[in-house]
């Protein structure tokens, strides 16, 4: 067990010297999350399309898609706000 208190994460200082002063760590994290969510959206739409096209007779398809969207939305909302929406 460490004797020092835990420190919040901060990227290496050398990494931040290459960006203009207007780009703070918060802005970089925000845009990184936007990119992750955009990739997630595209991936989810393609997965739903293929699942409905190739296994539309499965009774599991619609509940699984609904559960995936609900859990993903809850995780994204928690990641952005830090509060559980239950």
Over residues 55-78, mean pLDDT? 82
Which comes out higher in pLDDT, residue 43 or 80? 43
Predicted confidence at residue 34, as pLDDT, reads: 83
CB < 8 Å & 24+ apart, contacts of 76-83: 76/37, 76/40, 79/33, 80/33
Predicted confidence at residue 83, as pLDDT, reads: 73
Q: Which helix (H) or strand (E) holds 1?
A: none
- DSSP assigned state of 57: T
Where are the chain's structural domains?
13-81
Asked if 25 and 16 count as a contact pair (C-beta separation under 8 A), the reply is yes
E-only strand ranges, 1-86? none
Asked if 58 and 50 count as a contact pair (C-beta separation under 8 A), the reply is no
């Amino acid at each position: 067990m460490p004797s020092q208190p835990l420190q919040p994460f901060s990227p290496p200082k050398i990494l931040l010297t290459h960006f203009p002063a207007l780009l703070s760590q918060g802005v970089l994290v925000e845009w990184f999350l936007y990119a992750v969510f955009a990739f997630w959206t595209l991936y989810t739409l393609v997965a739903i399309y293929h699942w409905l096209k190739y296994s539309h007779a499965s009774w599991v398809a619609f509940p699984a898609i609904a559960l995936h969207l609900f859990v993903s939305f809850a995780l994204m909302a928690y990641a952005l706000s830090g509060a559980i929406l239950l």
